[in-house]
């Protein structure tokens, strides 16, 4: 498959709702990208509120083509026909098919339902499966997310948060976030600092804990300052927050338009870390999983 790094691959599920598609339209308008809309035909589909067993792949593909027509019409309406759009209806297991197709795209965009909702084609397991396998960024958009497309750059609000696990090793992740969201008013580097039970129980001195917090804050501030010097047109700030990473990032997602996190392992597998997996189900804003160990898209 030839590389098409000028495209966003947008996974279209069988349920109602176009949050991921609308988000992708905004991103494409702002970044000068085209769209590749993909529906993976498989064993069960939901259309107009009814489940249709699709053991016959011809029937499954027919359903997929109906979904594609509706999606293309929405893109044309939302973008004023300003975007290049192509469609595909492959067959197979959604996570595996989308991950394989991802390598020819700039990024993959999927929509997910919150944890506890009825099962969906692009539920948490499929989104996590694609994020674990893909060698390009994967964006998971909550089903209830709303994007305003009124402005020329896609209408995306300026606040973008970056989850930084290790400040000294975050250059690839931060660089990707800054390049992707260039022109945003503020990029916030967020590092969660969890005080161990030993500290909480007083088994370590308060002075030791205070020095540790001060040292970590300085490390994060130094990284933000270095990137700020490279990004004079926007604010790069740091926030050292106390708590477990999943709790901190979940809370940050409630006050952000976008959250970027890294996938730290360098091999392609079938699982993401527990923090990322939880964010893909629970985050209040779109979450972008960037494969730190893979080559960055052109």
Within this chain, do residues 134 and 164 fall inside the same structural domain, yes or no?
no
271 domain-assigned: no
pLDDT band for position 231 (cuts 50, 70, 90): confident
The whole-number pLDDT of residue 147 equals: 63
Q: How far apart are CA 291 and CA 286, in angstroms?
A: 16
The whole-number pLDDT of residue 77 equals: 93
Single out the residue in 86, 116, 142 at which a domain terminates. Answer: 142
Which comes out higher in pLDDT, residue 33 or 118? 33
Within this chain, do residues 125 and 185 fall inside the same structural domain, yes or no?
no
pLDDT band for position 43 (cuts 50, 70, 90): low
Within this chain, do residues 130 and 40 fall inside the same structural domain, yes or no?
yes
pLDDT band for position 213 (cuts 50, 70, 90): confident
Task: Report, as an integer, the average pLDDT of 194-221.
Answer: 74
Q: Are 138 and 112 in contact (CB under 8 A)?
A: no
Q: How far apart are CA 177 and CA 133, in angstroms?
A: 20
206 domain-assigned: yes
Assign residue 94 the CATH number of its domain: 3.40.50.620
The whole-number pLDDT of residue 263 equals: 83
Single out the residue in 142, 171, 193 at which a domain terminates. Answer: 142
Question: Closest Cα to residue 32, out of 152, 136, 146, 173?
Answer: 152
151 domain-assigned: no
pLDDT tens, residue by residue, 251-286: 999 989 899 999 865 444 556 888 998 898 889 999
Which segment, 12-21, 43-52, 263-272, 283-292, is predicted with the most confidence on average? 283-292
Assign residue 201 the CATH number of its domain: 3.40.50
Query: pTM for the whole thing?
Result: 0.83
String of DSSP letters for 120-158: -TT-HHHHHHHHHH-SS-EEEEETT------STT----S
Within this chain, do residues 61 and 164 fall inside the same structural domain, yes or no?
no
> How many secondary structure helices (H) and strands (E) does the chain include?
9, 12
The whole-number pLDDT of residue 4 equals: 53
Q: What mean pLDDT is reported for the chain?
A: 81
Question: Closest Cα to residue 144, out of 258, 285, 246?
Answer: 285
Within this chain, do residues 179 and 126 fall inside the same structural domain, yes or no?
no
- Greatest pairwise CA separation for the chain in angstroms: 69
Within this chain, do residues 193 and 73 fall inside the same structural domain, yes or no?
no
218 domain-assigned: yes
Within this chain, do residues 109 and 18 fall inside the same structural domain, yes or no?
yes
Looking at the chain, the whole-number percentage of residues with pLDDT higher than 70 is 75
Within this chain, do residues 124 and 27 fall inside the same structural domain, yes or no?
yes
266 domain-assigned: no
Looking at the chain, the whole-number percentage of residues with pLDDT higher than 90 is 46
pLDDT tens, residue by residue, 148-183: 543 344 444 457 999 999 998 899 999 999 988 876
Q: How far apart are CA 260 and CA 167, in angstroms?
A: 14
Look at the chain and report how many structural domains it folds into.
2
Give the residue numbers spanning the domain of 80.
7-142
Within this chain, do residues 120 and 181 fall inside the same structural domain, yes or no?
no
16 domain-assigned: yes
Query: Is 51's pLDDT higher than 50?
Result: no
Within this chain, do residues 29 and 132 fall inside the same structural domain, yes or no?
yes
Within this chain, do residues 171 and 117 fall inside the same structural domain, yes or no?
no
User: Which tokens is 22 given?
Assistant: 């609308």
Within this chain, do residues 118 and 178 fall inside the same structural domain, yes or no?
no
1 domain-assigned: no
Which segment, 1-10, 148-157, 208-217, 245-254, is predicted with the most confidence on average? 245-254
115 domain-assigned: yes
pLDDT tens, residue by residue, 70-116: 999 999 999 988 999 999 999 988 999 999 999 999 999 999 876 54
Which comes out higher in pLDDT, residue 227 or 271? 227
């Amino acid at each position: 498959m030839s590389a098409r790094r000028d495209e966003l691959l947008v996974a279209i599920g069988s349920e109602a709702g176009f949050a991921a598609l609308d988000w992708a339209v905004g991103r494409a308008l702002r970044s000068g990208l085209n769209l590749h809309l993909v529906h993976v035909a498989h064993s069960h589909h939901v259309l107009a509120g009814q489940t249709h067993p699709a053991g016959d792949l011809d029937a499954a593909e027919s359903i997929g083509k109906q979904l594609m027509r509706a999606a293309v019409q929405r893109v044309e309406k939302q973008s004023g026909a300003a975007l290049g759009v192509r469609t595909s209806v492959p067959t197979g297991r959604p996570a595996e098919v989308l991950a394989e197709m991802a390598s020819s795209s700039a990024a993959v965009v999927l929509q997910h339902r919150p944890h506890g909702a009825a099962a969906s084609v692009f539920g948490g397991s499929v989104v996590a499966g694609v994020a674990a396998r893909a060698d390009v960024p994967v964006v998971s958009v909550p089903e209830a997310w709303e994007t305003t497309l009124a402005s020329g750059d896609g209408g995306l609000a300026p606040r973008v948060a970056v989850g930084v696990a290790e400040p000294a090793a975050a250059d690839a992740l931060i660089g990707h976030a800054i390049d992707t969201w260039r022109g945003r008013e503020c990029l916030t580097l967020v590092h969660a600092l969890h005080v161990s039970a030993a500290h909480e129980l007083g088994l370590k001195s308060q002075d030791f804990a205070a020095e540790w917090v001060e040292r970590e804050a300085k490390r994060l501030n130094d990284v933000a300052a270095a990137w700020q010097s490279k990004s004079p047109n926007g604010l790069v700030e740091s926030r050292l927050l106390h708590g477990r990473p999943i709790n901190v990032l979940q809370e940050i997602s409630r006050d952000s338009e976008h959250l970027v996190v890294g996938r730290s392992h360098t091999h392609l597998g079938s699982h993401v870390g527990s923090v990322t997996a939880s964010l893909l189900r629970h985050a209040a804003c779109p979450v972008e999983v960037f494969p730190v160990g893979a080559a960055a898209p052109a």
